[in-house]
Structure 1
Amino acid sequence: MKISVNYSGDYSAIVTTEIKHKIQTIHHGIYTKKAVGADYLGWVDWPSSLRQDWLKELHDTANDIREKSNVLVVIGIGGSYLGSKAVLEALSKNFHPYNKLEVIFAGHLVSGSYLKQLMQYLNSKEVTINIISKSGTTTEPAIASRFLIQYMEKRYGEQASSRIIVTTDENKGALRSLAIEKGYKRLIVPEDIGGRYSVFTAVGLLPIVAAGYDIAEFINGAKMAEQDFRTLDIENNPAIKYAIIRKHLYDSGYPLEILATFDDKLKYVQEWWKQLFGESEGKEGKGIFPTSVLYSTDLHSLGQYIQDGKRILFETFLLTEKADEDLTVFESPQNGDELNYLSGLTLHEFNHVCYEATSNAHLQGGVPQISITIEQVDEKHLGYLLYFYMMACAFSAYLLDINPFDQPGVEEYKTNVFKFLKKPGYC
């Protein structure tokens, strides 16, 4: 298992004595859990600390869901849904996306139309819901929960409580209290792991295993990454390397990073990555703005700006070496589309050529580049990749002298919403 990080510039030239010293300090702070925000460093050794009895409980819960239901509705926002959504989208088929159970997400937006149509759709299904919230009072999922709990109680009566699972704080919060009152099954959000770092906890794992995917392999990938990225090796540790390159480009006047992929299966990995880095770094007037493109689709839209627009961005390619399924261009007797010159080329190979051509063009246009390459998209490689990003993000934020684990700006908007709506205590 490996992940490679390559830079279009001279990496050795940007690894200064100051950077080396700072990386050593950050590394020590993370692994002694004395860094700023250390109360939320539980994710660092979480994969290797998972107990078999806990994993068995998770599998038993997933089996129970599948016995009762053919749809699981996951209610959550931000880190409460993006991790599992990213993995499910990466592993699913395009037109028959669900392995054993259909997973639908709610509470990640406020839309009467979405909720109304969702409940109409559920009428022909057997349903379980999983409400994910540390507090239970986050507005968007709380609104969805109010409607969907009412729906479940009207439809299933006393049996509704056996079809509602909550993933919440172990010791406090409105959702915990509701679960105890109603008799819902409870899973725990660890106290020392924040939402955007929670994909390897019950928050991310239950929807993935319920859908029929191999969380043992997913966790094994994360365990391997946990071991590999623990080394203080500035030249060869890809998480540290990525963080150092990002810091150098930021200091060089490139405050915007575009994560580009040619694999549509990874589009929600991009969305998860945006939250991870955006919430972790964007504070105190600092931080790289994370955005994403899907190629070659966006080469026919945003590609123009990337090639010739203002030089404020750098581009990071997320690449896969192997495709799980593919097609080979065949020779046509008529050649009316003039594509016979591609005969014998697989579409994955075409995308790799497209990557090389795009990379070359954008470099000539003055866009600095990083490439991150994994072997393939499966449970183990996804576990490895997501842990890589989490560790790289921690190093990257600490290099900016930022706490990676709070989100004061998010709390600001929530407070304003409560004031505008005249919530008691906020008027």
Structure 2
Amino acid sequence: MPGGAVDMEAVGGYEDILRNGDAWLRDSASEGRDGLGWINLPARDIAGVEETAKWISGFDAMVQVGIGGSALGNLMLHGALLPPYWNELPRSKRQGPRFYMSDNVDPADNRMIWNLIDPEQTVFTVISKSGSTAETMANFLFFWDRLKVDLGPKKAAEHVVVITDEEKGVLRPFADEIGCRRLVLPADVGGRFSVLSPVGLLSGAALGISARKLLEGAAEMDRRLAERNTVFENPAWLLAALSVAHYRQGRNMTVLMPYEDALERFCEWFAQLWGESLGKNGTGSTPVRALGAIDQHSQIQLYTEGPDDKLFTVMTVAEPAEEITIPETEEKALVSLSYLFGQSMNSLRRYEALSTAAAIAKSGKPVVSIEIPKLDERRLGAMIQFYEHVTALAGYLLDVNPFDQPGVEQGKNYTYGLMGRPNYSAQALEVTELAEKLSLREISV
């Protein structure tokens, strides 16, 4: 849809760079270069994941301990492909256990999770490549301690699955020590690109999502992208080019606004993927999460009449899984609502998405429309592979490494120092000095 003029010749001018970038990504992936392994995930063997998932599916509950890429991808898969209010469904209507995510370091959340589960009927999955992520390990140590108290160390180990690096970190030797199940997080796959690895596939498969169909959709998308070598034929090249072109015109925010509740978590997954991959060296556009039609009533005023600093993507699903026809009613006070009678809720939502895109375009702002034919495993797998490819290519155009996170590491190092981790005392001193400077500007209430 038109709106927010950008020089399409400039977009086309990125073609040679994108072609080189795409070739570099694929060559680097085949060489096993760090961070590029996500391209190969659709072809990896998942027999171990499926076997472990089948075992987990017999339990009443599953608690996953992880943060960032070890959490957001799981929640995205579940939100998109499982019925709403999954944990409230009776066991007869669920194909797998209730699911709880322990991500943030929040005592209230962790205690409530523990109070809601029966440890004898629960599996705990801990995910960390290094085993040094403070939040993840703090949460896991809480649950591991409770498990040992209630079940004893030997039986507790039978309720734990570790997903970690094959060689590095503390979780691999921990798994060997206690004798629990272990799956490998590929060394060449970064956390935010890991949803199609055991990190995301295990919980999804345990809850009845087809891991193989997710990977089939991702593989199909990858093949299509590999076959198209012009910027206006290859959708990943085009969206990467549009994103960077608009960024260079001062639109330093990208808004993703699906009109499907099931895709709300997709926005959260995308926000980490985009923000953590591209926000480096003073560059990068800020991801903004929105949900239609809810945010028509909270953000559209800003989007249409606010500053021209955003690129918008409105996302819809052509064939939603459920439908409701809005019923008629005879009360005279409601006669003004007769235009709704007999209409479908999905039609209303579809018209709202179209109207939002049109209103944004009319205001002169740039908007992209994406329609997913149907929200199932195959299409979602394709969308995951697509957005990962777009993100990697945008990083190539911006001349940043989309596969590291130096800003995140600095914050981690400060935390290690403050918590007294050995060899991080200098980091503790530095953050204390910075905090003292900040305190000079505090305002008392």
Same fold (TM over 0.5): yes
1:149 aligns with 2:141: no
Q: 2:36 aligns with which of 30, 33, 41?
A: 41
Q: Is the 8 A contact 2:157 2:179 kept in 1?
A: yes
- Provide the residue aligned with 1:84 in structure 2: 74
CA pair 362-177 structure 1, distance change in 2 beyond 3 A: same
TM-score (norm 1): 0.93
- Provide the residue aligned with 1:357 in structure 2: 355
Displacement of 1:95 after TM fit?
A: 3.2
Q: Report the aligned-residue RMSD.
A: 2.0
CA pair 133-253 structure 1, distance change in 2 beyond 3 A: same
1:218 aligns with 2:209: no
Q: Deviations over 1:5-61 (max 9, x none)?
A: x664678824556412211221221122189994221111220x223xxx3322221
Q: 1:418 aligns with which of 411, 416, 419?
A: 416
d(CA) in 2 for partners of 1:46, 1:143:
29
1:128 aligns with 2:123: yes
Q: Is the 8 A contact 2:259 2:349 kept in 1?
A: yes
SS at match of 2:311: strand
Q: Deviations over 1:317-357 (max 9, x none)?
A: 12111110011123323353322112332111111111122
Q: Is the 8 A contact 2:5 2:364 kept in 1?
A: no
What is the identity, as a one-letter code, of the residue corresponding to 2:255? I
Identity %: 30
Higher alpha-carbon deviation: 394-403 or 211-220: 211-220
- Provide the residue aligned with 1:309 in structure 2: 306
d(CA) in 1 for partners of 2:37, 2:332:
59
d(CA) in 1 for partners of 2:372, 2:7:
23
Paired residues, number: 416
- Provide the residue aligned with 1:113 in structure 2: 108
1:321 aligns with 2:318: yes
Q: Is the 8 A contact 2:166 2:185 kept in 1?
A: yes
d(CA) in 1 for partners of 2:258, 2:355:
14
1:238 aligns with 2:235: yes
Displacement of 1:182 after TM fit?
A: 0.7
Displacement of 1:367 after TM fit?
A: 2.0
- Provide the residue aligned with 1:171 in structure 2: 167
Q: Is the 8 A contact 2:57 2:97 kept in 1?
A: yes
- Provide the residue aligned with 1:187 in structure 2: 183
- Provide the residue aligned with 1:50 in structure 2: 44
Q: Which runs of 5+ in 2 are unaligned?
A: 88-93, 426-445
SS at match of 2:28: coil
SS at match of 2:158: helix
TM-score (norm 2): 0.89
SS at match of 2:14: helix
1:30 aligns with 2:25: yes
Residues 378-417 of structure 1 mapped to structure 2, 5 A cutoff: 378-417=376-415
CA pair 295-16 structure 1, distance change in 2 beyond 3 A: closer
Q: Deviations over 1:56-98 (max 9, x none)?
A: 322221121223x210101111111111110111112123455
